[in-house]
Amino acid sequence: MSSSKQTIYDFTVKDAEGHDVGKVVLIVNVASKCGLTSSNYAQLKELLDTYGDKGFVIATFPCNQFGGQEPECEVDIRNFVKDKFKFEPDLYGKIDVKRYSPTTSPKSMEKDIETLLEGKSL
């Protein structure tokens, strides 16, 4: 990656053979004890079911910085989502969120997902 890159939108990931991976990635923070947990995970699953076979993936990053709404460890979070919402998210380690509010709805990003899947810029 070049140091001249300014935002995540400027990066392209290559596979082991050096080819562009070509996936649209939604990076989202998640919490299992938030008032929006059920609707957000349901929307994430819906987006993945709709666009997953078209090169769309969701990278979920748990965050405990908004009122302690994600106190669980990553293994427990994965099991919670698998049991309650019937899918296994691409779950990563806990982070502190630098952007977007915890009330941002995953489904509200659908138009951007479609735009990126069409190969257009936001």
Q: What are the catalytic residues?
A: 34
Distance CA(111)–CA(74), nearest Å, equals 30
Residue type for 22, please?
G
CB-based contact 62:91 (threshold 8 Å): yes
Sign of the CA dihedral running 16, 20, 21, 24: positive
